[in-house]
């Protein structure tokens, strides 16, 4: 079975681990979000690609869900001692190596997709990991920063990482723009993998800044819609709140309420064939199905690998239902 998964960071990576457990022999291609990539200290950092690679390759810090296990932060401490920031982005000593190798290869002329493949030669994640695009796409967020005492705050456009990590989504996102997406081309292999897929899955990743950014690369949404295979997603919203992260903040920016049903409608029946909501959101099933999307309520908490594998099985079962209908 050939499965294509559109993945963001932590949620996508953990779902993928469950998927591998559920169907060990499946041929899985992961199309990774690169909209939250950032240049730091002259290095190209790809947080979502790395989270997938480290998680599936056994190098992840399990507790925090990102970064490397057995990590130290001496380099970062020293940069701070030099007065060189930003300090709010947590790059560990081991993690730095990935960014140094990537930056050197990019500088030598390799596209990001080839670099990612080379990095995965070490990590052997058991999936084919392809960045959504070799072109630079950078998610920016328009915010109004609180004023210091006086009346009106400062309107500003910040990098997604600055919004997410530094500001911790503490102010409303007024607009979210994947800068460069319109001019970006899907990376080599992306459209081919979709065309050859037996099923396409949207893990419980952020529907705006993860899956949404991937879909913003011209050609990817169309390829999925045209593939003629079941497209099934899992809600990242459980009981009207994000399972993790701050998806509600960015959903508000695109005018979507933070409910499992609203996210399904946001993707739309033109793209999505099936949708899994959590059992606490069973009342949403009717609304989703009314929107033309087959829907089931099953436990959606990735509390451990078994629970996550079961979610993957449910998604694949729903895909088979779609296919048979």
Q: How far is it between the farthest Cα atoms of the chain?
A: 63
**Residues present in the chain in total:** 325
Q: Which is nearer to a copy of itself, 35 or 92 (CB)?
A: 92
Q: Which of 218, 320, 200 is nearest to 271 (CA)?
A: 200
Chain residues binding a copy of itself by CB under 8 A are 41-43, 71-72, 74-79, 81-84, 92-94, 96-98, 100-101, 103-104, 107, 119, 122
Task: Report the C-alpha gap between 18 and 5 in whole angstroms.
Answer: 12
Phi, psi values for residue 21, rounded to 5°: -65, -40
Q: Which is nearer to a copy of itself, 104 or 183 (CB)?
A: 104
Q: How far is the CB of 14 from a copy of itself (least distance, A)?
A: 23
* The two three-digit tokens of residue 189, written as one number: 């292999």
Alpha-helical segments (H) within the chain: 10-22, 47-57, 74-81, 93-107, 112-123, 160-161, 190-196, 211-215, 220-226, 247-253, 260-267, 284-290, 305-324
Task: Report the C-alpha gap between 312 and 177 in whole angstroms.
Answer: 31
Q: Which is nearer to a copy of itself, 113 or 235 (CB)?
A: 113
Q: How far is the CB of 73 from a copy of itself (least distance, A)?
A: 9
Q: Which is nearer to a copy of itself, 67 or 203 (CB)?
A: 67
Q: Which is nearer to a copy of itself, 108 or 324 (CB)?
A: 108
Q: How far is the CB of 120 from a copy of itself (least distance, A)?
A: 11
Compute CA 103 distance to the chain's CA centroid, rounded to the nearest angstrom.
Answer: 22
Q: How far is the CB of 36 from a copy of itself (least distance, A)?
A: 21
Q: How far is the CB of 72 from a copy of itself (least distance, A)?
A: 6
Q: Which of 141, 144, 164, 142 is nearest to 152 (CA)?
A: 144
Is 50 annotated for ligand binding?
A: yes
- Extract the annotated binding site: 50
């Amino acid at each position: 079975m050939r499965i294509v998964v559109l993945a963001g960071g932590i949620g996508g990576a953990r779902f993928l681990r469950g998927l591998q457990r559920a169907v060990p022999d499946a041929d899985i291609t992961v199309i990774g979000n690169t909209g939250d990539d950032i240049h730091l200290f002259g290095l190209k950092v790809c947080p979502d690609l790395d989270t997938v690679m480290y998680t599936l390759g056994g190098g992840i810090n399990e507790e925090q869900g990102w970064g490397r296990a057995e990590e130290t932060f001496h380099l970062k401490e020293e940069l701070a001692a030099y007065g060189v920031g930003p300090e709010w982005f947590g790059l560990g000593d081991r993690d730095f190596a990935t960014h140094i190798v990537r930056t050197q290869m990019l500088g030598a002329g390799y596209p990001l997709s080839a670099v990612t493949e080379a990095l995965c030669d070490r990590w052997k994640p058991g999936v084919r990991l392809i960045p959504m695009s070799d072109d630079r796409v950078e998610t920016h967020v328009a915010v109004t920063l609180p004023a210091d005492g006086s009346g009106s705050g400062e309107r500003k456009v910040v990098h997604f990482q600055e919004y997410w990590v530094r500001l911790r989504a503490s102010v409303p996102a007024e607009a979210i723009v994947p800068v460069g997406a319109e001019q970006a081309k899907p990376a080599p292999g992306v459209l081919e993998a979709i065309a050859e897929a037996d099923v396409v899955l949207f893990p419980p990743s952020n529907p705006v800044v993860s899956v949404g950014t991937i879909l913003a690369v011209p050609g990817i949404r169309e390829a999925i819609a045209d593939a003629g295979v079941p497209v099934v997603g899992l809600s990242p919203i459980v009981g009207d709140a994000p399972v993790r992260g701050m998806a509600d903040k960015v959903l508000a920016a695109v005018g979507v309420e933070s409910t499992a049903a609203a996210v399904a409608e946001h993707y739309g029946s033109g793209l999505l064939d099936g949708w899994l909501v959590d059992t606490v959101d069973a009342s949403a099933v009717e609304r989703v199905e009314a929107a033309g999307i087959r829907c089931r309520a099953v436990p959606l908490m990735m509390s451990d690998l078994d629970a996550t594998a079961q979610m993957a099985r449910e998604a694949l079962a729903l895909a088979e239902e779609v296919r048979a209908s």
